[in-house]
């Protein structure tokens, strides 16, 4: 089905992104997967051609484009090629909105130019060993000491955790708790007491560095407080539609890509004297998946249009996030089955797509949390 959400500029941008992903990233994936991390230089290279920092104002060295459809193009092209290595979407879709919305002028001048140029890599640290979706359970603390803040605690599952130069850390600044107890701080590489734990061994996404971070009396100057003291919880909430749509568009793009590859496989692989796709079971299954992925694409595109005009609600984003990522699970599972024994071999893209898909219904808010959001909005 023809997609109507993109215009000529987006299509031209897609050519650039696809070219970069194919030539500069895909060939390195095997090495990055073995190393458990991507080369940090790829950030600067990607920024040079416009894959990163396009949504940062021009005065800070960015592209000056505030239109989430460009974010979607990058997310889609990475997902379609299963190039999950460096956390580009984390930069574009999650970190950038925080800095643009919450940093003051001094901070913007300090942080945005190397962010936009890809020289500095960022991460965001919310999750803790004992705290996932229930952010109010965060135990990392920040205590004021003169003009500084002293941070203590541990974070885990942090994407870009090893490569990152600056990390947005969510910490509790009011021991009494409650929704006004949290504040965001930017912790920098080299600050005494800030150390990294393991690069975590994961089921999939092997080229993505995902780490534990430790904070042992880390002294952070007040100039690195992001946004307002006590407003961290609300600041986290305001950016959720972008993060969830980033995952939703990736889910549909990855589903479409692996499904198209599987359809091709079903046409060429023969068994019992005929292409396996011509058996009714395979044909119906492919028909069902193709239909559902098309339907998902239409819904996501509609949400994308709403997000590009800042009209998307967090409930709509939650709907898109859970449904598309659950669809992705079914698509990759059935595509492995259609590949038979080859589907289980890592040399086939479908095997990697299968494991790489699995986190999608978990990070950025689990399916169950998404349904809570949708359900609560129904007033039930």
Partner 1 sequence: MSEAEIEGELRGAIARLLRDRCGIETVAALADGPDQWDESLWRALTEVGVPGLPVGEEHGGGGAGFALAAAAQEELGRRLAPVPTVSLVAVQAALMAAGSDVAERWLPRLTSGEVVAAVATGRTADGWSAADDVRATRGRDGWSLHGHVPIVADAPAAGLLLVACVTDDGDPGLFLTEIDASAGVHALEALDPTRPLGGVTLDGPAERVTGPSGHDTVLAAAENAALVMLAADMVGVGAEATGLAVDHAKTRHQFGRAIGSFQAISHRAADMFVAVESARALVAAAAGALDEDPGSAETRIAVRLAAAQAVDAAVAATQGCVQIHGGMGFTWEHPAHRYLRRAKGAEALIAFPDRLREQAVTAVLHSRKEDSHA
List of residues 6+ apart from 275 with CB closer than 8 A: 266, 267, 268, 269
Helices assigned H by DSSP within the chain: 8-20, 29-35, 41-49, 68-80, 88-89, 96-102, 105-116, 232-238, 240-268, 280-308, 314-338, 349-357, 367-377
Q: Applying CB under 8 A, does 281 fall inside the site for partner 1?
A: yes
CA separation for the pair 323, 373 (Å, rounded): 13
* Beta carbon nearer to partner 1, 268 or 281: 281
Q: Which CB atom, from 34 or from 267, has the smaller least distance to partner 1?
A: 267
Q: Which of 243, 264, 292, 372 is catalytic?
A: 243
Binding segment for partner 1 (CB under 8 A), chosen from 25-33, 111-119, 206-214, 280-288, is: 280-288
**Residue 284 CB, nearest approach to partner 1 (Å):** 6
Piece in contact with partner 1 (CB under 8 A), picked from 112-120, 172-180, 276-284, 337-345:
276-284
Q: Return the residue of 280, 309, 378, 379 that touches partner 1, per CB under 8 A.
A: 280
Is residue 274 part of the contact set for partner 1 (CB under 8 A)? no
| Complex with partner 1: residue 145 or 288, whichever CB lies closer | 288
**Candidates 117-125, 136-144, 275-283, 297-305; binding stretch for partner 1 (CB under 8 A):** 275-283
What whole-number distance in Å separates Cα of residue 256 and Cα of residue 262? Answer: 10
Taking the C-alpha atoms of residue 251 and residue 63, their distance in angstroms, rounded to an integer, is: 26
Three-state DSSP state, 68: helix
Q: Is the dihedral of CA 237, 99, 20, 50 positive or negative?
A: positive
Angle, in degrees to the nearest 10, between helices 8-20 and 41-49: 150
Stretch in the footprint of partner 1 (CB under 8 A) among 234-242, 274-282, 353-361, 366-374: 274-282
* Number of alpha carbons in the 13 Å side-chain half-sphere of residue 286: 21
Give kind and range of the element (H or E) at residue 361: none
Q: Which is nearer to partner 1, 279 or 299 (CB)?
A: 279
292 is annotated as an active-site residue: no
Which one among 143, 214, 230, 279 touches partner 1, defined by CB under 8 A?
Answer: 279
Minimal distance, residue 44 CB to partner 1, in Å: 53
Q: How far is the CB of 369 from partner 1 (least distance, A)?
A: 22
**Shortest Å distance, C-beta 329 to partner 1:** 21
Q: What's the CA dihedral at 168, 225, 50, 261 to 10 degrees? A: 20
Q: Does 284 bind partner 1 (CB under 8 A)?
A: yes
Number of residues forming the site for partner 1 (CB under 8 A): 4
Q: What is the dihedral of CA 96, 101, 103, 104, to 10 degrees?
A: 140
Q: Which is nearer to partner 1, 138 or 276 (CB)?
A: 276
User: Minimal distance in Å, beta carbon 283 to partner 1?
Assistant: 9
Minimum distance of partner 1 from residue 290's CB (angstroms):
16
Contact 249, 226 (CB under 8 A): no
Residue number, 279 or 363, with CB nearest to partner 1: 279
C-alpha span between 171 and 126 (Å, rounded): 8
Of residues 288 and 311, the one with the C-beta less far from partner 1: 288
- Cβ at position 374, least distance to partner 1 in Å: 20
Q: Which residues participate in catalysis according to the annotation?
A: 243
Which stretches of the chain bind partner 1, using CB under 8 A? 279-281, 284
């Amino acid at each position: 089905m023809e997609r109507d959400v993109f215009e000529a500029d987006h299509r031209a941008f897609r050519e650039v992104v696809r070219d970069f992903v194919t030539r500069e990233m895909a060939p390195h994936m095997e090495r990055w997967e073995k190393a458990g991390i991507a080369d940090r230089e790829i950030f600067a290279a990607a920024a040079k051609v416009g894959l990163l920092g396009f949504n940062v104002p021009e005065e800070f060295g960015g592209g000056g484009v505030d239109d989430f459809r460009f974010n979607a193009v990058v997310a889609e092209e990475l997902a379609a090629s299963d190039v999950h290595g460096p956390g580009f979407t984390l930069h574009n879709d999650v970190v950038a909105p925080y800095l643009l919305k919450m940093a003051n002028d001094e901070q913007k001048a300090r942080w945005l130019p190397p962010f936009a140029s890809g020289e500095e890599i960022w991460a965001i640290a919310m999750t803790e060993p004992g705290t996932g979706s229930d952010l109010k359970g965060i135990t990392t603390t920040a205590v004021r000491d003169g003009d500084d803040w002293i941070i203590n605690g541990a974070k885990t599952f942090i994407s870009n955790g090893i490569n990152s130069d600056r990390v947005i850390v969510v910490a509790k600044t009011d021991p009494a708790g409650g929704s006004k107890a949290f504040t965001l701080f930017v912790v920098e590489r080299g600050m005494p007491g800030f150390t990294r734990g393991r690069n975590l061994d994961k089921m999939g996404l092997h080229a993505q560095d995902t780490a534990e971070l430790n904070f042992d009396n880390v002294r952070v100057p007040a100039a690195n407080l992001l946004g307002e003291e006590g407003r961290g919880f609300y600041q986290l909430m305001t950016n959720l539609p972008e993060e969830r749509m980033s995952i939703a568009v990736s889910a549909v793009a990855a589903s479409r890509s692996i499904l198209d590859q599987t359809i091709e496989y079903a046409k060429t692989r023969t068994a019992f004297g005929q292409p396996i796709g011509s058996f009714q079971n395979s044909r119906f299954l492919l028909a069902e998946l193709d239909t559902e992925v098309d339907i998902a694409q239409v819904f996501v595109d509609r949400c994308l249009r709403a997000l590009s005009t800042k009209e998307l609600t967090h409930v709509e984003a939650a709907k898109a996030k859970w449904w598309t990522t659950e669809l992705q699970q079914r698509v990759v599972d059935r595509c492995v089955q259609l590949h038979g024994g080859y589907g289980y071999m890592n040399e086939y893209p479908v095997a990697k797509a299968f494991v790489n898909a699995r986190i999608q219904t978990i990070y950025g808010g689990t399916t169950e949390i998404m349904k809570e959001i949708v359900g609560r909005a129904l007033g039930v």
